[in-house]
């Protein structure tokens, strides 16, 4: 699935190492966040970093769209959509971890 296209050339993961690295880091942090279910602080940190990496990769793709020469037109393809959706889900996960942390603090206070 290409990330963006320039004229007749399509750019995918092998052609743009910056976006590939950011996507791999975001995926690794998402998996690490799942495995850190016993430590809410680290899980919150992993989800926040995952969201940051996802937003950086989407903003890098958008920056490439607008920072080009006038003769070259870059249009965003369907490959950037999963990166944006992943960033949104990571933000939602971080918000839920924060909510769970507050809920656990209030339950500990009642004991």
Instruction: Report residue 45's pLDDT band, with 50, 70 and 90 as the boundaries.
Output: very high
Q: Which residues contact 53 (CB under 8 A, 6 or more apart)?
A: 22, 23, 25, 26, 29, 87
Dist CA 51 CA 47 (whole Å): 6
* 13-34 confidence digits (pLDDT tens): 677 788 788 888 888 988 988 8
Average pLDDT of the segment spanning 40-58: 90
SS3 state at 4: strand
Q: Residue 55's closest CA among 86, 30, 97?
A: 86
Model confidence at 78: pLDDT above 60: yes
Question: What pTM was computed for the model?
Answer: 0.77
Dist CA 64 CA 80 (whole Å): 12
């Amino acid at each position: 699935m290409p990330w963006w296209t320039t004229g007749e050339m399509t750019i995918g993961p092998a052609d743009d190492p910056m976006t590939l690295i950011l996507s791999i880091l975001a995926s690794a942090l998402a998996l690490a966040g799942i495995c850190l279910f016993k430590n809410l602080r680290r899980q919150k940190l992993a989800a926040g970093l995952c969201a940051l990496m996802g937003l950086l990769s989407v903003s890098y793709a958008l920056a490439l769209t607008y920072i080009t020469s006038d003769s070259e037109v870059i249009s965003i393809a369907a490959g950037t959509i999963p990166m944006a959706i992943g960033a949104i889900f990571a933000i939602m996960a971080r918000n839920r971890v924060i909510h769970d942390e507050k809920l656990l603090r209030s339950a500990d206070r009642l004991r």
